[in-house]
Amino acid sequence: MATERIFNFAAGPAVLPLAALEEAQRDLLALPGVGMSVLEISHRSKTFEAIIGECEANIRKLAGGTENRIGQKKRDPA
């Protein structure tokens, strides 16, 4: 089903390239080399840990390479 895309230029989510949406759609059904969706694999699996590690590295890179608290648990002020 083809629909006309609406572009949101307001504050909030940005317009994503169609290729990025198509890749996300494909990988949501089955991750390459895994045969299962990211929604179906264990959050303790090596595959999921690799995804999280790559995401954290990309966020750090986008944030200017500074060390920050990504992935660290918050401490209770006690």
Cβ contact 27:38 at 8 Å? yes
pLDDT tens per residue, range 5-63: 877 777 666 788 899 999 999 989 999 899 999 899 999 999 999 999 999 999 989 88
- Give how many domains the chain has, as a whole number: 1
Cβ contact 77:67 at 8 Å? no
23 within some domain: no
The whole domain housing 40 covers: 29-66
Give pLDDT, residue 7: 77
Give pLDDT, residue 3: 75
73 within some domain: no
Spatial CB neighbours of 29, under 8 Å, sequence gap ≥ 6: 37
Residue 76 has pLDDT above 80, yes or no: no
Give pLDDT, residue 43: 93
How confident is residue 73, by pLDDT bands cut at 50, 70 and 90?
A: low
